Amino acid sequence: MILLATFGRFARRTAIAGLAALGLAGAAPAVAQPAFWVVKDADSTIYLLGTVHLLKPDTQWRTPKLEAAIAESTQLWLELASTNPEKMAGEMMPLISRYGLSPTRRLSADLTPDELKTLDEAAKLSGMTAGQLDIFRPWFAALTISTSAMTHAGYDPMSGVDSKIEGIFGERKIAPKGLETAEQQIKVFAGMSREAELEYLRQTIKDYREASVELDKMVAYWASGNVVEMEQMFVTEMKVEDADLYAALLTNRNANWVVQIQDMLKGSGTTFIAVGTGHLIGPDSVIAMLDANGVKAERVQ
């Protein structure tokens, strides 16, 4: 997801968020391209693309079949109604003030001296210090560091697939619709217990230096459509290590989106949906849930 793509280990290994099951056993498609699927009924076609929310500007991912699907589509759905930071700023600031700050319980009250020292080192990636992050809730401090680590490694949200696709549709005067709101995304973080938030922060400051290596590997799998490796990196590890987080980030949100997708099928025309790759892979993915409801998604090869 746009915001949740940077969630701890999940973020470092996905940054795609925001996910699709059922690919060929480990092999990339004959023509390497990001994995995407199509759902059809008598009068509706829906394409579902798993995205990476942040990419290096020179990453190549557009293929003829993907371009054709985009050109055919007359509606666009993203996780949020816009990925443009300027458009989102007015909405995000009040939400961050409400859910991301904690004036009465500072980070320094819960972190050890060694952890604060590491936090200070990690905060430098965003041009800040541990003291400036002290008022942040743990989840927001972790999110800030994760995002900064990715951008420091050359990954740019404006080069991300969601942003680029929004721009392509924008050239045709087609505005995206959102599967959820920014507040709903933030509440996934803000709804965690204080201990869970702190564990997320501790894991983030422990591993932030690995961001570049992990992201490079992840993008290579994504660009070649290697869903088996992606599932291992994006889904399996999180499901085993933190079932509650897995449910909050993936299962519950996927279930909500499936309801909306099935409603789209009641209409007509061609729709393009772009969401974090992790939502389209694995046993609890959008693809798997659609299949369980009798809606077959075919992978575009």
- pLDDT grade for 31, boundaries at 50, 70 and 90: very low
pLDDT, average across residues 122-135: 95
Provide the whole-model pTM.
0.86
pLDDT, average across residues 35-62: 94
Tokens encoding 178: 């959102």
State the CB neighbour count (10 A cutoff) for residue 217. Answer: 13
CA distance 300 to 141: 39
Q: Say whether pLDDT at 1 is over 60.
A: no
- pLDDT grade for 21, boundaries at 50, 70 and 90: very low
Strands annotated E in the chain: 36-40, 44-51, 75-78, 177-178, 269-276, 298-299
Report the number of distinct structural domains present in the chain.
Answer: 1
The owner of tokens 């399996």 is 236
Please give the pLDDT value at position 85. Answer: 67
Please give the pLDDT value at position 17. Answer: 33
Please give the pLDDT value at position 19. Answer: 27
pLDDT digits (tens, 9 = 90+) for 191-219: 999 999 999 999 999 988 887 788 888 89
Residues β-bridged to residue 269:
44
Q: Say whether pLDDT at 5 is over 50.
A: no
Percent of the chain predicted with pLDDT > 70: 88
- pLDDT grade for 144, boundaries at 50, 70 and 90: very high
pLDDT digits (tens, 9 = 90+) for 50-61: 999 889 988 889
Mean residue pLDDT of the chain comes to 87
**Residue range of the domain that includes 216:** 4-299
CA distance 109 to 89: 30
pLDDT digits (tens, 9 = 90+) for 63-101: 999 999 999 999 999 999 987 766 677 788 899 999 999
The residue among 301, 100, 104, 272 whose CA lies nearest residue 201 is 100
Q: Are 253 and 1 in contact (CB under 8 A)?
A: yes
CA distance 23 to 28: 9
The residue among 78, 278, 56, 105 whose CA lies nearest residue 162 is 78
Least confident window among 22-36, 90-104, 109-123, 150-164: 22-36
Residues β-bridged to residue 274:
49, 78
Please give the pLDDT value at position 209. Answer: 85
